[in-house]
Chains A and B, each alone.
Chain A
């Protein structure tokens, strides 16, 4: 099962994400949420505004597949992309992450991380980035 590392959690919780959703025929909509809460190994919860719920409700109901890119400075410092399935509970978007990719520009872009042993993911991170989350 997919497991987020502490670094991934820190960046998502600290700066949120750009969240891509789409109709089942592939027409995309992106929303921006500035914080998140990570629960368990791979559940990410986003508190949406009423306007955001209205924007993605139909997409999520017909196509629960979503993609997340860490927000703000995380777009470059936390070069991950998370893909999973989402559901709405009232104004909370709950994403179960099923796939994790590296988006570091260059030859490692699109490298799938969640298929590696967890220890290897942590090692991968530690050899590429020195921080453990966004600046305070």
Chain B
């Protein structure tokens, strides 16, 4: 699903006003994990990208159940969306032609594999930023559903 400009603009890299999102993943037997993601970008207007920084449970879930939901936590005003779809992680070491939902590992890792070259992690407050940056790869979510998270129409398809 191609995302509208307002969603793309909300999620793409733009310091210092980056949004913080939650990525919800789930084990195959239904145990959810809600993980904050401090950095996001958008590829081809339909793939949400997040650097894999110590995302242990997220990766375990995605290895067995390739679906995720992104919701925007902060700043969230006017950004009441739940973006759900196939989700996987593209790790360093995968062959360049490894394909996930139409994107190639080589293309993603070449551009987003060293996220700190695109966006300074030091922009985060000292209490909140990682002491050590060790990016293992890139988490990729292909948006298939865009749902409202507004109280009055939560779950309604926005498009």
Chain B associates with chain A:
yes
Q: Which of B1-47 contact A (CB under 8 A)?
A: 20-22, 24-36, 38
The answer on a CB contact under 8 Å between B26 and A69 is no
Q: A21–B34 Cα gap in the complex (Å)?
A: 10
Interface residue A76 (Cβ < 8 Å from any Cβ of B): yes
Residue of A nearest to B55 (CB): A109
- Contact A52:B22 (CB < 8 A) given known A30-B34, A66-B32: no
The answer on a CB contact under 8 Å between A72 and B73 is yes
Interface residue B80 (Cβ < 8 Å from any Cβ of A): yes
Which residues on the A side are within 8 Å of B28 (C-beta)? 25-26
The answer on a CB contact under 8 Å between A73 and B149 is no
The answer on a CB contact under 8 Å between B30 and A69 is no
Which residues on the A side are within 8 Å of B132 (C-beta)? 106-107
Residue of B nearest to A52 (CB): B154
The answer on a CB contact under 8 Å between A128 and B127 is yes
Interface size on A, residues (CB 8 A): 46
Interface residue A116 (Cβ < 8 Å from any Cβ of B): no
The answer on a CB contact under 8 Å between A26 and B24 is no
The answer on a CB contact under 8 Å between A67 and B32 is yes
Interface residue A8 (Cβ < 8 Å from any Cβ of B): no
Which residues on the B side are within 8 Å of A71 (C-beta)? 73, 76
Chain B, interface size: which category? 35 or more
A-B contact count (CB 8 A): 151
Q: Which of B41-77 contact A (CB under 8 A)?
A: 53-57, 65, 67-69, 71, 73-74, 76
Q: Which of B124-138 contact A (CB under 8 A)?
A: 124, 127-132
| New A-B contacts (17) at CB < 8 Å, excluding given A75-B21, A75-B74, A105-B128 | A20-B34, A28-B24, A28-B67, A29-B82, A32-B80, A49-B151, A49-B152, A51-B152, A51-B154, A52-B154, A69-B22, A76-B38, A106-B129, A106-B130, A107-B54, A107-B131, A110-B57
Chain B residues proximal to chain A, CB less than 8 Å:
20-22, 24-36, 38, 53-57, 65, 67-69, 71, 73-74, 76, 80, 82, 84, 124, 127-132, 149, 151-156
Chain A residues proximal to chain B, CB less than 8 Å:
18-32, 49, 51-52, 54-55, 63, 65-69, 71-77, 79, 81, 83, 103-107, 109-110, 128-130
Interface pairs (17), CB distance under 8 Å? A20-B32, A20-B69, A25-B28, A26-B30, A29-B69, A67-B24, A67-B31, A69-B73, A75-B20, A75-B22, A77-B128, A81-B34, A81-B35, A105-B36, A106-B53, A106-B129, A110-B57
